[in-house]
Structure 1
Amino acid sequence: MNTKLVSFVLTILLSDFVNSATFENVTVLLTTQLGKLFLYGKPPIAAIFIPSSETLTDYINHQPLEVVTIRNQKIPKLVENSLSNLSNIVHLSIISSGVTELEPGTFKNVPKLDGLNLEGNLIKEIKNGVFTGLQVKFIYLNNNKISIIENHAFNNMTLTLISLNNNRISAWNTNWFLGSPVGSIYIAKNLLEEVPPHAFDFGLKFKRLNVPLTVWNVVLAQNRIKKVHKDAFKHVNGFGYLSLADNHLQELPPEVFHSVKNINTLDLTNNNLGHVSGVFDDININQLILLNNSLSCFPMEVFDISTISYVFVDGNPFTCVCVQFFD
């Protein structure tokens, strides 16, 4: 074999071997939370270059700034301890950096970490042990390729908000959130086909005696949902904002909101609902949005047994006289 060719191949192999650190030629931006510290009218920013390291610790911990942003870098995999022992960091973002895999144990000893942003990467799976037990309040995983979330992926956290928009999730599992007080869940633009029974039972652990169980924001818009189980919202007493817009619903079970007494906004836009008789009985709804469905009639008697402030019904093929006053 040609000596130069052998040398070239060995150089490539050795280069790949040497360039195997988690953070290889990566630039990290550090700043502080808005409103805390300003320099010349702006929050201070420090750019740190990491030539090669398995962890951020040695480059970050001696800095006084507590917000880390890594954007548009090349970090294929986050391994055990690669984001551990960050004693001062409050917010951590690794955005659009080609991350395909998160190993269990990536985050350890991050006592002040409040939020994570891993948007715009190539993550396919959330394994148990990556986030389990992590004491953060919010996680953004939008715009990845997530299709698998293991059974206890977000258990025993202080998590209150999770955003999984624009992924490939096809089934909802209430066990994901056991032991975590999640009040805002965003799973729009995925592949969900059903809202299963007892979908929000994870919240029962945090329900106090004689205090209603409320879920603040749930967005399941732009999925493929054909069915909402009659017990999907059982034990939930209220929603702030619930969106099932842009799905494939043809009907809702009359019992589906039986335990739900209050909804500020319920959005059912762009479905195929042909009737809603009995669905909204004995409930308080501020805004009921039924735009662009297949309703030929709206049950006006619902106003005698429920408190519904506003109903939006444009784009339905009404044929009955009961809704002529909408014209």
Structure 2
Amino acid sequence: MKARTEDKPVSVVYLFLFVCHLVQPSTSTVCQSHCSCSGHVTLCVNYTSLPTSFSHSTQSLHFQASKFSIPQHAFQNYTSMEHLTISNGYISFVDDRAFADTPVLDYLQLENNIFKVISAGVFDGLSRLTKLKLYNNNINNIPAGMFRDLQGLQWMLFEHSPTSLQLQENSFQGLQNLIVLSLGNNQLGVLNNPNILQGLDRLEELIIPNNQLTDITDGMFSFLTKLKTLDLSYNSLKSLNSEIFSPGLPGLETLKLRYNPLNDVPETALNRLPGLKVLDLQATRIHLIEPSAFTGIPHLRYINLNDNSDMDIIPTVALNTLKHLTQLQLSNNRITALPALAFQNLSSLTHLYISHTQLRSVDKDALRGLDNIQVLELSFNRLRSMPGGVFSPITITEETYINLHSNPWSCDCQLKDFIVWNRKHFNSSSMLQTATQGLLCQSPYKFKGMSFDDIPVENFTCASTDFAPAGTLSATSHSMKVAIYICVSIVVTVVLTVVALVSICLYRRLRKKVSQHQQARYNRLRLPMRLWDDVELQT
């Protein structure tokens, strides 16, 4: 249970509701204490009992930081009420049919209260209700039939239960006209019974993020034939079962899987979604995308692959099956290079984002095929140079935006062709500004901090020992590293051999000296013994 203070400030939302009705003439003769009334809007704070003498013409009634129970037919006199809010209070009990006899009530908000149980009859009599918000209460169970009388409900938010929310068969009975259902932050853990979602015949958007989901059973969404958006973000799904979307969700257009440790693209599961247009795989620990990963979703238009830190190459083959793709997100990965023809079949692509990566090189033909690109984001990478004419495949217009900022540019001969080409083609239009204006040199030292535009073309030069074609720079660097490694290895081997030979020679000489010393000592001891032997023989 969250701690609450007795005196809570009126929220900005309700202040806005109050102010926006000031222009309406008041029809209420008396405004209760602890309340503010204006026109058809009434806002009450810190009530300990439910007042009964508001104007019958009240259309919008809001209680904050109040402490009372709600009995049956509590609002039966408010026949004009369209919006009722009871929030940030100590409401612990709501009786059956508490909101009945409010024939035009359209929006009911019960949020940040302390009731733990809502019986099946609480919402009876609210057939005209279209929006219901149950946010951050202590409810841990949705009994069957709880929403049985809400045939007109189109939008429901049931989020932030402090304990694991228990769903059962027919929990959503009666919601055949519901279009949006949000069940975020309810610690569901698993979804293992498709009948839980039975009866949601017109549901188009199902939002269930932050639920610690570890498993979803096959066919879980089989009753949701009208579903267009499914949000499974911020859960603990390590994989998606191949039949999770069985027998198929042909109308699903948006699938959000961000921040699940999937490791791989769930190819077989995606094959059940032929109409998918938006796929969010941000931060799913994907490192390698198989060539056939997206063949089952040919109509995809947007894909987010940001924040997959193990991805170090562009999945060219897989992406080139997506001929209708318009937006591609590849930022915050470990991509190091854009190879030639990396996006050759993506002629519909208009937005490409590759920033905050390890990108060091771009092939001169890397952007071939991107005829309709409008936004190209290559900022915050490790680019030091760019080949001349790299932007030639792009149809540059006044709306084209190219961002190359925050790269460690080396303003030398490696960049000269790029500068020449850009100034030649864009100098007479505003496109030059979008491509190069404001770019700063990181090296050489004499140009550090200077703008590209402030340096004459002829000054983009290299020392004689530094010349190398831009396309072969990485290969030359690699060859040099290999040569240095070989040389160092040979030198180390020779030194170790010499040390070994010297050590052997010194050891042999030492042994010889020791042997000679021992022999001499033996001889000195042997001489007296021989003399004594001779005397003994003579005797």
Alpha-carbon deviations, 1:162-218, whole Å to 9, x = none?
1111113433335122122222111111110122332432124xxxxxxxxx52222
Measured in 1, the distance between the counterparts of 2:168 and 2:281 equals 27
Alignment correspondent of 2:133: 140
| Aligned ranges 1:99-118 → 2 under 5 Å | 99-118=91-110
2:269 is equivalent to residue 269 of structure 1: no
Amino acid of the structure 1 residue aligned with 2:267: S
Structure 1, unmatched stretches of 5+, are: 1-26, 205-213
| Aligned ranges 1:1-327 → 2 under 5 Å | 38-39=23-24, 44=39, 56=51, 58-60=52-54, 62-75=55-68, 77-135=69-127, 136-157=129-150, 158-167=152-161, 168-180=163-175, 181-198=177-194, 199-204=196-201, 214-258=202-246, 259-275=248-264, 276-281=266-271, 282-306=273-297, 307-316=299-308, 317-318=310-311, 322=315, 327=335
Measured in 1, the distance between the counterparts of 2:156 and 2:76 equals 21
Q: Which moved more, 1:186-195 or 1:253-262?
A: 253-262
Measured in 1, the distance between the counterparts of 2:19 and 2:44 equals 23
Amino acid of the structure 1 residue aligned with 2:156: I
Structure 1: which 4+ aligned runs deviate by more than 4 Å? 29-37, 45-56, 323-326
Alpha-carbon deviations, 1:205-263, whole Å to 9, x = none?
xxxxxxxxx52222111111111111111032343332111111011111222320133
Preserved contact between residue 42 and residue 62 of structure 2 (Cα < 8 Å): no
Measured in 2, the distance between the counterparts of 1:242 and 1:160 equals 17
Q: Which moved more, 1:222-231 or 1:174-183?
A: 174-183
Which one has a bigger Cα radius of gyration?
Answer: 2
Give TM-score scaled by structure 2 length: 0.48
Deviation, 1:303, is 3.6
Preserved contact between residue 171 and residue 194 of structure 1 (Cα < 8 Å): no
Preserved contact between residue 61 and residue 85 of structure 2 (Cα < 8 Å): yes
Preserved contact between residue 209 and residue 235 of structure 2 (Cα < 8 Å): yes
Distance 1:321 1:65, change over 3 A: closer
Aligned length: 287
Distance 1:232 1:64, change over 3 A: same
Distance 1:46 1:179, change over 3 A: closer
Give TM-score scaled by structure 1 length: 0.76
Structure showing greater relative contact order (alpha-carbon pairs closer than 8 Å, 6 or more residues apart): 1
Preserved contact between residue 30 and residue 67 of structure 1 (Cα < 8 Å): no
SS of structure 2 residue aligned to 1:126 = coil
Deviation, 1:102, is 1.4
Deviation, 1:97, is 1.8
Amino acid of the structure 1 residue aligned with 2:66: Q
Q: Which moved more, 1:179-188 or 1:163-172?
A: 163-172
Distance 1:237 1:323, change over 3 A: farther
Higher strand share: 1
Alpha-carbon deviations, 1:300-326, whole Å to 9, x = none?
424433222222122232378745875
Alignment correspondent of 2:326: none
Alignment correspondent of 1:11: none
Measured in 2, the distance between the counterparts of 1:300 and 1:183 equals 36
Deviation, 1:91, is 1.0
Distance 1:298 1:34, change over 3 A: farther
Preserved contact between residue 59 and residue 80 of structure 2 (Cα < 8 Å): yes
Root mean square deviation, CA, Å: 3.4
Identity of aligned residues (%): 19
Measured in 2, the distance between the counterparts of 1:236 and 1:256 equals 13
